[in-house]
A and B are shown apart, each in its own frame.
Chain A
Amino acid sequence: MLKRLKKYSDLGYSLIAIILAFAIGALLIYLSGLNVGKAYSALFNGAFGSLFNFTQTLMNTIPLIFTGLAVAIGFKSGLFNIGGEGQMYLGAFVTAITAIYLSFLPSIILIPLVLLAGGLAGSAWSFIPGYLKTRTGAHEVVTTIMMNYIGILATSFLLLRYFQETGPIPQTVFIPESARLPELIEFSRLTWAIFIAVFVVILCDIFYKRTNLGYKIQTVGKNSSAAEYAGISSDKMMVLSMMISGFMAGLAGATIVMGVLHRFITNFSPGYGFTGIAVAVLGRNKPVGVLFAALLFGALQTGGITMQLFAKIPMDLMVVIQGLVILFVATPVLIKKLLRK
């Protein structure tokens, strides 16, 4: 069994990492004097136990698909985009503002337009570190981290200064009905965004596997000098790659505003942009891998809620399990050693 898993080494390692993480999680629960069976069954039920719970899992999965893709796409060209969080805030903010100001447009035009605006806002934000990297050599890890702060605080500043709804709450007014993504099941807040997310995953997969441009970007990622030698402008590819990456993070923000919150609120994110890094690592930077990794993390998030409420296990355990998964995925040597024994 394990040998066969090794053949599909990426998938295999990821699965083993997940199993190991859950095993250690179980140990921690046991050592804390709590009931492991009860905890994990609450976790599973919370995530998949009923139609409603499953819709909540999917709802939590959507932003993670986008932010996971953002990081994975950066990796393809050898760039580490840690700025997903800031790009997402920009996307969410611009989405809300355009939706509010263009509310006279019919839904069929407004929805794609607003979605695009959100994505482009993310792109614009990620263009800056991309440009700085190629022009000045400023390392993208440093610049994207810094751009997070600027993005989150700048949107908050603009909101408070110009767009705040009257009242004490730092939020915009509601976006018009015509700009909202329709719910699939009433009250679930699960919207058509899930199909958009899956569609974008498929597009990305085709882009990197089948298109010339996708191939060029990956060549730059694997070896930029070789790419230059082959006549590919690595600078151009890097900036482009950063912009596609930012577009994804922007879509995360756009779909949250259009499907879940229906307005922009400061500090709305529990760190989707950062969890996206973990999602990309677990998904091995492959679009389809990201899809399933996001589902796992979405399920942990949703199931963790029931586990906290009804099995009295602190939410922190979910964070521990997520951390362990990443630790094991990032250190395949560790798993290899464990398997040899």
Chain B
Amino acid sequence: MRKVFVTLLILVFAVCVIAETKVAIVFATGGLGDKSFNDAALEGIKRAKSELGIEFDYAEPSAITEYETYMAQFANSKNYDLIISIGFDQADALTKISERFPDQKFAIVDMVVVKPNVASYVYKEQERGFMVGYASGLMTSQSADERVNDDLVVGVIGGMKIPLIDANIAGFMAGAKYADVNMKALHSYVGNWADPAKGKELTFSMYEQGADIVWGAAGRSGLGVINAAKEKNFYAIGADSDQGYLAPENILTNGMKRVDNTVYIAIKDVIDGKFEAKIYSLGLKEEALGYSKNLLPADIIEQLEIVKKKIIAGEIEIPAVIEEVE
């Protein structure tokens, strides 16, 4: 009897150890249902649950002031192997909480917090820029498509002139020129993340200069790019998530930021005992960045895949600043 009991105890203990990995995730204030970062993060953690057998709890703060409270509640319970913050506006709260709970592991997506117990996951933005830039370059030289004109001009509109956006733009320009050295890649900035009207205006001005494919890397201002393309029937490229549903006939592809895969990677690192409090720059190789197929013709996808392999192999140098492209 005692033997059985002891064996059982060991078994229970073993099961506990295996199933022990618990993860908490604090979403950005948009909450679930945002068709963007939060929903993607939930996808990632669900995949981790089914494939890696973790348990997770999540919090949907309704205001920036609540981030700290949620993080503190999670950390205070000492129940979680990892607490993940989604989105850059959690940085202030995480900086304070990570000091207060030095033994707790944290991860933040799309932002850098330099603390000895925080892993920061950011992106090699220029890589996705290159992919969609290359796709645009190939597409604009296809004369058969009615939405494509004869000019070798494409464009990209950034939200604000900050290094992160400039990396995207530089990648885009380099990618377009990689498709054809004579390619002209225009770029401009909205100066705001939430001004679709100005985004639209800038897109029209690019259209008048001959651009028939425009990428909006501009947060909500990017919606203006999509609307402009819809109105004058040319191509727009979406950003971060698959925005194809906004204009099924005009969204050529999307410069994807795969938050789901990022979350999955962060969790896997903890399970594998590889958690490190450093800055991870993820890109095509980790499937953390990429493009979506949408309206891309099969032959272009083929070429994109070849280039993608080359980038991963390090055969193509992609500049992260615009001056290096020009």
Contact = CB atoms under 8 A, between A and B. Distances in A.
B74 A265 contact: no
B69 A305 contact: yes
A14 interface: no
A160 B192 contact: yes
B302 to A, nearest CB: 35
Contacts of A308: 59-60
B236 to A, nearest CB: 21
B164 interface: yes
A305 B77 CA distance: 13
B65 A256 contact: yes
Listed residue (B68, B69, B88, B162) with the most chain A CB atoms within 10 angstroms of its CB: B69
B64 interface: yes
A177 B162 CA distance: 27
Contacts of A46: 73
B159 interface: yes
A166 interface: yes
B34 interface: no
A268 interface: yes
Contact of A169 (B60, B65, B88): B88
B162 A306 contact: no
Contact of A268 (B60, B64, B76): B64
B63 A309 contact: no
B120 interface: no
B63 A189 contact: no
A284 B132 CA distance: 60
B178 interface: no
B280 interface: no
A315 B62 contact: yes
B321 interface: no
B55 interface: no
A255 to B, nearest CB: 12
Interface string A260-299: 1110010111100000000000000000000000000000
A267 B89 CA distance: 11
B68 A189 contact: yes
B60 A309 contact: no
Interface in B69-118: 69-70, 72-74, 76-77, 88-89, 92, 96, 100
Interface string B23-38: 0000001000000000
B162 A270 contact: no
B160 A168 contact: yes
Nearest to B76: A52
Contacts of B89: 169, 171, 265
A270 B160 CA distance: 27
A315 B60 contact: yes
Given A168-B159, A305-B73, A315-B60, A267 B193 contact: no
A300 to B, nearest CB: 13
A168 B88 contact: yes
A309 B57 contact: yes
Given A167-B162, A308-B59, A268 B65 contact: yes
A306 B193 contact: no
A260 B100 CA distance: 16
Contacts of A305: 59, 66, 69-70, 73
Interface string A156-180: 0000100000111111000000000
Contact of B162 (A168, A269, A315): A168
Contacts of B159: 168
Contacts of A168: 88, 159-160, 162, 164, 193
B69 A302 contact: yes
Contacts of A315: 60, 62
Given A168-B160, A306-B73, A268 B63 contact: yes
Contacts of B63: 267-270
A169 B110 CA distance: 12
Contact of B73 (A170, A270, A309): A309
Nearest to B192: A160
A270 B61 CA distance: 9
Interface of A: 46, 52, 56, 160, 166-171, 187, 189, 256, 260-262, 265, 267-270, 302, 305-306, 308-310, 315
3 smallest CB-CB distances across A and B, nearest first, come from A270-B63, A270-B62, A187-B100
26 contacts: A46-B73, A52-B76, A160-B192, A166-B162, A167-B162, A168-B88, A169-B88, A169-B89, A187-B72, A187-B96, A187-B100, A189-B68, A256-B65, A261-B65, A267-B29, A267-B63, A267-B64, A268-B64, A268-B65, A302-B69, A305-B66, A306-B73, A308-B60, A309-B57, A309-B73, A310-B77
